[in-house]
Structure 1
Amino acid sequence: MTQAYSTQMEAAKHGIITPQMATVAADEGIDPEIIRERVAAGSIAIPANHTHTALHAAGVGEGLRTKVNVNLGISGDVHDYSCEMEKVHTALKFGAEAIMDLSNYGKTHDFRMELIGMSPAMIGTVPMYDAVGYLEKDLAQITAQDFLDVVRAHAEEGVDFVTIHAGMNRKAIDSFKRSGRMMNIVSRGGSLIYAWMEMTGNENPFFEHYDELLDILYEHDVTISLGDAMRPGCVADATDASQVSELIELGLLTQRAWERNVQVMIEGPGHMTLDQIAANMQIEKRLCHNAPFYVLGPLVTDIAPGYDHITSAIGGAIAAANGADFLCYVTPAEHLRLPSVSDVKEGVIAVKIAAHAADLAKGIPGARDWDDRMSRARQKIDWDAMFEEAIDREKAEEYVASAQPSDPHTCTMCGKMCAVRNMNKTMAGEGVNIL
């Protein structure tokens, strides 16, 4: 990037197409000038910290393929960094464009530096999670400046985006207290800030010192992902006063960030019934000025522990088809435990399917090419070609190998009654022999 401009947005506003914009344009098959215009307007974000040299830049936002994020990181009960790195490799193998290190125990610096050093995917964090371990202070003893110092440390290390729950101010808390929510606040970072505010009597430090926060992010071109502390944690709480009042504030904070040339993404729900998803996407785009929307799920029902990668993928497909730009995966372990490597695999595959299904619905250029290649392989009953196009090749191969048909041009579901086999024969003028 030209040295005079510190961020992707600043360069874009001055008519500069950065190498990262050119990469996004090439990957998406879109004119680089269109990418530049949308970065300047804020409808596309390209999270790309100056010091993340392993990064393969990806764009999030208007007209682009739906991107997916994988959460991982150690906890106080399970802190095996080698296992977390195995999860990283699994996420990258199955095409995650972003990885968030949500480690919340001990000194997380070394793992984060290793992750930034090797990952072509963008890296995100929630600095609030790291504050207690980084500062070695109890929550009530942490100062507003301490919180900003942790953000600065993450920015200097090279993270590309940070989730900051800046919209949960005193006004939003007042709405929350009067709303009578079933699940209260389920955002981990949001709950910690709420507790800090209640214990100290102070305003949200990230809201009160927002300009200083933006200065830190601008210096390193760290994208701010404005977190939804008030996201609904059950379908009963969806689209309530707490959620909407915070979203209004996030829209105002978005404009302030753009004025300082800091890129923005907006985080969204949460748990939500199917009929509310499309409207929520439209509300976010309207209130937050078409900023990229990053959603967790939404999970469309609360009854499926052990299968929440499915409840999330259903909601994610609908959300992305109606305007969401970035989907955060959910694993089968959601609400139950820290996910294993196999949980990560199941979660990332489910969300990649949801994202691709949405891209088909939105008519993203080139999205259907993948499906067409698979369809041509199926029409020819070309197993090797089908395996090549499968989102999880190993699983597809295992299924076929586990039950061999008498005719290798079929599977054990239909055998010689296979419609594809018989149509191929008939169309070629051959007879069809079932017996």
Structure 2
Amino acid sequence: MKTQIEYAREHIITPAMQDVAGQEGCRPEAVRDKVLAGRLVIPIGSRRRQRLVGIGQGLRTKVNASIGTSSDIADVDLEIAKAKMAESEGADTLMELSTGGDLDLVRRSVIEVTRLPVGTVPLYQAFAEAARRYRNPNKLDSEYLFEVIERQLQDGVSFMAIHCGINRFSIERLRKQGFRYGGLVSKGGTFMVSWMEYTNRENPLYEQFDRVCALLKRYDAVLSLGNGIRAGAIHDSHDRAQVAEMVINCELAELGREMGCQTMVEGPGHVPLDEIAGNIMLEKAMSGGSPYYVLGPLPADSGAGYDHLTAAIGAANSARYGADLICYITPAEHLALPGIDDVREGVRATRLAARIGDIAKYPQRRDAEKRVAMARRDGAWDEHLKSLLFPDAAAAIRASRMPGDEKTCTMCGDFCAMKRGMTLFAGDLSSAKQRHPDEAAQRAADDRLPER
């Protein structure tokens, strides 16, 4: 099969491009041209029916939810429930990152119950199975890596985080800088570094990058260049090892694109707030505008238990400065395997962060916020609640503490500033500042469609 890039080279607008253009309210030609330039990707794969999602320049910032078993908790039904929760809460993509139990069974079960594009990290399965087979993951046969990649693609995986950017040069940077304050935090990245040190060999995913691209091209899946040496502490942000891998990944993104493989770049992990804009600028400049899939980022290390909020602050800034896909963080981050409630809270916090970033990134798309504000001003509570990002949560809070005057709320009661303000200035409202309930309700509903 041809990839979206190869179709774009022939000036063909594919059904997938048409679909993305319809979701985003833009011209199909613009989607095609950005796919051609490598500034927009559409995770597809070839083995399952799934929802189509565009990730890249000019589009709504997307949200990824990650699930998966561990060596301590390997419950297939739990992962199925988490996948369903992520989809129902409006995640755009899903990563299945299991390392415990029957890994093929978990992945296939999750793919079966969701229509979201599903991504994986093939290194997890390869090293987990090598550890079981040889009692030493460093004895992994490098050929098995490629077998796992193809097996997962055959199951219907739409995008893959593959750690191609780790090489002998980047490992040497870790040594020469005296390692790190926060160590290595990428599971796949750390196991690959360990394998390279044990075998004294180069990373086969880097050495045989053309083979990686050929496999993903066969299924028109997106290659997400994994961030295996990302910073796990803000004091390690943009150290030489992280930057070395970032340079390599950006270069590989361009090479993969030239081969006709859809590519995006991952980063950056833990980054102080003042460095986020610069990090995204570097990725865009060095990769030729490849979509940027950000992990977090977390701008503080001390928020465990509330790291979904820590990450939401970083995510809002990332979206504002040009990130394209944001991986959620749950309240369980750094503490435990996420549960179903953690997934819900992680998706909600990250969707809100992405919305905040998009409000700044696309000022022309602020009408939904204006309609919320006018409904609140007018005490039009039904309309106001329907226009919110999380109407169920807001309605439950209001219902639990209803006021005597239903036009107000129990925060202010008789001292409602909104109600008094309208009695003073209702006659002065310009036509632009007047609420049109029927139109507002319809447009609010339309606004929510792309979010799902």
TM-score bucket of the superposed structures, by smaller chain: over 0.9
Paired position in structure 2 for 1:342: 341
How far residue 364 of structure 1 moved from its aligned partner, in angstroms, is 6.3
What is the alpha-carbon distance in structure 2 between the residues aligned to residue 22 and residue 176 of structure 1? 45
How far residue 140 of structure 1 moved from its aligned partner, in angstroms, is 2.0
Paired position in structure 1 for 2:411: 413
What is the alpha-carbon distance in structure 2 between the residues aligned to residue 98 and residue 308 of structure 1? 20
Do 1:103 and 1:130's aligned partners in 2 also have CA atoms closer than 8 Å?
yes
Paired position in structure 1 for 2:450: none
**Matched letter for residue 129 of structure 1:** Y
Partner-residue secondary structure (3-state), 2:65: strand
Alignment of 1:39-118 (within 5 A): 39-53=35-49, 55-118=50-113
**Matched letter for residue 333 of structure 1:** A
**Matched letter for residue 415 of structure 2:** M
Do 2:375 and 2:381's aligned partners in 1 also have CA atoms closer than 8 Å?
yes
**1:22 and 2:21 aligned:** no
Alignment of 1:20-419 (within 5 A): 20-53=16-49, 55-134=50-129, 136-137=132-133, 138-180=136-178, 181-363=180-362, 367-419=365-417
What is the alpha-carbon distance in structure 2 between the residues aligned to residue 247 and residue 225 of structure 1? 12
How far residue 142 of structure 1 moved from its aligned partner, in angstroms, is 1.2
Do 1:63 and 1:364's aligned partners in 2 also have CA atoms closer than 8 Å?
no
What is the alpha-carbon distance in structure 2 between the residues aligned to residue 403 and residue 360 of structure 1? 31
- Deviation track 1:307-337 (CA, whole Å, cap 9, x = no partner) reads 1111101111111111111111001110000
Do 2:98 and 2:106's aligned partners in 1 also have CA atoms closer than 8 Å?
no
How far residue 183 of structure 1 moved from its aligned partner, in angstroms, is 1.8
Gaps of 5+ in 2: 428-452
Gaps of 5+ in 1: 430-435
How far residue 383 of structure 1 moved from its aligned partner, in angstroms, is 1.9
Partner-residue secondary structure (3-state), 1:6: coil
Partner-residue secondary structure (3-state), 1:290: coil
Identity of aligned residues (%): 40
What is the alpha-carbon distance in structure 2 between the residues aligned to residue 107 and residue 358 of structure 1? 39
**Matched letter for residue 311 of structure 2:** S
- Deviation track 1:160-181 (CA, whole Å, cap 9, x = no partner) reads 1000111010011111111121
How far residue 133 of structure 1 moved from its aligned partner, in angstroms, is 4.4
Do 1:71 and 1:102's aligned partners in 2 also have CA atoms closer than 8 Å?
yes
**In 2 relative to 1, CA 56–271 (structure 1 residues): closer, same or farther, beyond 3 Å?**
same
What is the alpha-carbon distance in structure 2 between the residues aligned to residue 392 and residue 251 of structure 1? 36
What is the alpha-carbon distance in structure 2 between the residues aligned to residue 35 and residue 44 of structure 1? 7
What is the alpha-carbon distance in structure 2 between the residues aligned to residue 364 and residue 148 of structure 1? 44
**In 2 relative to 1, CA 86–370 (structure 1 residues): closer, same or farther, beyond 3 Å?**
farther
What is the alpha-carbon distance in structure 2 between the residues aligned to residue 254 and residue 206 of structure 1? 13
How far residue 108 of structure 1 moved from its aligned partner, in angstroms, is 2.0
**In 2 relative to 1, CA 131–364 (structure 1 residues): closer, same or farther, beyond 3 Å?**
farther
**Matched letter for residue 87 of structure 2:** L
**In 2 relative to 1, CA 301–72 (structure 1 residues): closer, same or farther, beyond 3 Å?**
same
Do 1:64 and 1:364's aligned partners in 2 also have CA atoms closer than 8 Å?
no
Do 2:79 and 2:110's aligned partners in 1 also have CA atoms closer than 8 Å?
no
How far residue 134 of structure 1 moved from its aligned partner, in angstroms, is 4.7
Partner-residue secondary structure (3-state), 1:331: coil
The two structures, once aligned, show a CA RMSD in angstroms of 1.4
Partner-residue secondary structure (3-state), 2:366: helix
Partner-residue secondary structure (3-state), 1:297: strand
**Matched letter for residue 29 of structure 1:** G
How far residue 399 of structure 1 moved from its aligned partner, in angstroms, is 1.1
What is the alpha-carbon distance in structure 2 between the residues aligned to residue 287 and residue 179 of structure 1? 23
**Matched letter for residue 295 of structure 2:** L
How far residue 404 of structure 1 moved from its aligned partner, in angstroms, is 2.1
Query: What TM-score, normalized to structure 2?
Result: 0.91
**Matched letter for residue 416 of structure 2:** C
How far residue 21 of structure 1 moved from its aligned partner, in angstroms, is 0.5
How many equivalent pairs are there? 423
Do 1:266 and 1:293's aligned partners in 2 also have CA atoms closer than 8 Å?
yes
Partner-residue secondary structure (3-state), 1:229: coil
What is the alpha-carbon distance in structure 1 between the residues aligned to residue 258 and residue 207 of structure 2? 17
Partner-residue secondary structure (3-state), 1:270: strand
**Matched letter for residue 237 of structure 2:** A
Do 2:55 and 2:291's aligned partners in 1 also have CA atoms closer than 8 Å?
yes
What is the alpha-carbon distance in structure 2 between the residues aligned to residue 20 and residue 164 of structure 1? 24
How far residue 254 of structure 1 moved from its aligned partner, in angstroms, is 1.2
How far residue 428 of structure 1 moved from its aligned partner, in angstroms, is 4.5
Partner-residue secondary structure (3-state), 1:298: strand
How far residue 359 of structure 1 moved from its aligned partner, in angstroms, is 0.9
- Deviation track 1:114-162 (CA, whole Å, cap 9, x = no partner) reads 3323422211000111114456534122111111110110111110100
**In 2 relative to 1, CA 193–139 (structure 1 residues): closer, same or farther, beyond 3 Å?**
same
Paired position in structure 2 for 1:432: none
**In 2 relative to 1, CA 90–386 (structure 1 residues): closer, same or farther, beyond 3 Å?**
farther
- Deviation track 1:359-388 (CA, whole Å, cap 9, x = no partner) reads 1111165x3232233223212212222222
